[in-house]
Structure 1
Amino acid sequence: MVLHSNKILIVEDELRIRNLLRFYLEREGFHVEEAETGESGLDKALSFDYDLLILDVMLPGMDGIFLTSRIRQYKSTPILIVTAKASEMDVIQGFEAGADDYVTKPFSPREVVHRIKSVVRRNQGIGNDNISSQRTLKLRDFVIEEDHKLKSKGKEVFLTTKEYELLFYLASSPDKLFSRENILQNVWNYDYIVDYRTVDTHIKRIREKLDLVSPEASSMIRTVWGLGYKFKMN
């Protein structure tokens, strides 16, 4: 059950898309606000607290990728990009800018709502027994903190919501192999297969950020080719 206090901001210049998303989201109990341009979306995203942001890429003025990167400088609010731009590079750019998920048009409104509910539940720590209730994890010379910061030897780096959840999930079970399907089910809460690049791109970003504070920690995330990933302590 979604609480009525959950707030969603839709930044989309197409009225038809905004109305469609609003209809399905309000039916699930979300409070929905809208913005038609990147500039007005940035102003609202930074001025108010939302449970999730839905951003289009092709916006007048500031595009959604740049908007995502600007928001990420200040806030960890989950971001879902909904766009007609579906090439591999578009998807990678969205994730690298800090998006938590990426849906291409045309889309199923029910699928989008399902993903949104999954992200909101995960961000609030609700409804997933597979992730430890502990939110801070100490491993060797670095600490994964619940405020989405990774700290090591006086250095710190900010993690997006999904980067934090994915790293926490892997590091909570050292030496255990996780398939991409398993990660999508337990970190993204997806019970159906979506693009594996969702996982791969987040792993890439986590490694890059780990390397800034602890190269040793970065090397602990191991790729097991053809199978998945694991966090290797030795």
Structure 2
Amino acid sequence: MGTTILIVDDEADIRNMIAIYLKNEGYGVLEAADAHEAFGVLEESPVDLIILDVMMPGMSGVEACMTIRQSYDMPIIFLSAKSEDLDKIHGLASGAEDYVTKPFNPLELMARVKSQLRRYKMTSGNSEPSHLLEKGDLTVNERTNEVTVGGREVRLTPKEFHILSLLLRNQGQVFSIEQIYEAVWKEPFFKSDSTVMVHITNIRDKIEENPKKPFYVKTVWGVGYKA
């Protein structure tokens, strides 16, 4: 079976141009005009790499990347008109492997695609199953939605499970309340909304030995939460 690449960009001309170069390299190509369309493609078809535009209507590429990382580990290359270092850092911190600024040289993009695919194929064979997330005695199985702590089964609600998966899949990365809400609920966040904090409290009550001194889900004061 060949290698399939998903292009996610709201500009049809850019999608068509990238598709031509990818097909010339022998890759299979799938396309999506926005994040939600991309999610549908991922549910229906196996994808080996994603080229993802950052600035899209509705859900941004960064938000889409965080959502994709809850379930998939294929390489993601961002496309964006933003070239500032902070934008690159923010993009890569959300789970992407590489970042290309517009306007870009298609040949450079192809080189980066090949490089990321090589790295992915070299490491995936030796890595732990991607559906198992672990920290200490905590294990989350994303395939069966099972959570255990020290061998004890823990029952989480679907939203609690998605929050915990998001944090464990990106251990060490700090997520703001807004980022967590928009990645899990997939709708705009309102500043007065305490939903995420309530769910974090519930998660801690279920998985932490001492919820007041959490080990698995930690608070980074003034910023957010991390695993």
TM band (smaller chain)? 0.5 to 0.7
Contact 2:71–2:131 (8 Å) recurs in 1: no
Contact 1:46–1:74 (8 Å) recurs in 2: no
| Distance across 1 between alignment mates of 2:50 and 2:92 | 14
TM-score if structure 2 supplies the norm length? 0.58
1:70 aligns with 67
Q: Does 1:105 align with 2:96?
A: no
Cα distance change of structure 1 residues 90 and 148 upon mapping to structure 2, 3 Å threshold: farther
1:155 aligned to which of 138, 142, 148: 138
Give the letter aligned to residue 76 of structure 1.
D
| Distance across 1 between alignment mates of 2:140 and 2:89 | 21
Aligned-residue identity in percent:
39
Q: Does 1:31 align with 2:14?
A: no
Contact 1:95–1:101 (8 Å) recurs in 2: yes
| Distance across 2 between alignment mates of 1:47 and 1:73 | 17
2:86 aligns with 89
What RMSD over aligned residues (CA atoms) do the two structures have, in Å? 3.0
1:116 aligns with 113
Q: Does 1:43 align with 2:19?
A: no
Contact 1:55–1:64 (8 Å) recurs in 2: yes
Deviation at 1:22, TM superposition (A): 0.8
Contact 2:3–2:27 (8 Å) recurs in 1: yes
TM-score if structure 1 supplies the norm length? 0.56
Deviation at 1:134, TM superposition (A): 7.6
2:126 aligned to which of 122, 130, 135: 135
Cα distance change of structure 1 residues 107 and 70 upon mapping to structure 2, 3 Å threshold: same
Deviation at 1:91, TM superposition (A): 1.1
Contact 1:46–1:75 (8 Å) recurs in 2: no
SS at match of 1:44: helix
Contact 1:10–1:34 (8 Å) recurs in 2: yes
Flag as ranges the 4+ runs of structure 1 deviating above 6 A. none
Deviations 1:175-206 (A, max 9, x none): xxxxxxxxxxxxxxxxxxxxxxxxxxxxxx76
Deviation at 1:17, TM superposition (A): 1.1
Contact 2:47–2:74 (8 Å) recurs in 1: yes
Deviation at 1:45, TM superposition (A): 2.4
1:197 aligns with none
Cα distance change of structure 1 residues 134 and 123 upon mapping to structure 2, 3 Å threshold: closer
Q: How many residues align?
A: 151
1:220 aligns with none
Which of the pair has more CA radius of gyration? Answer: 2
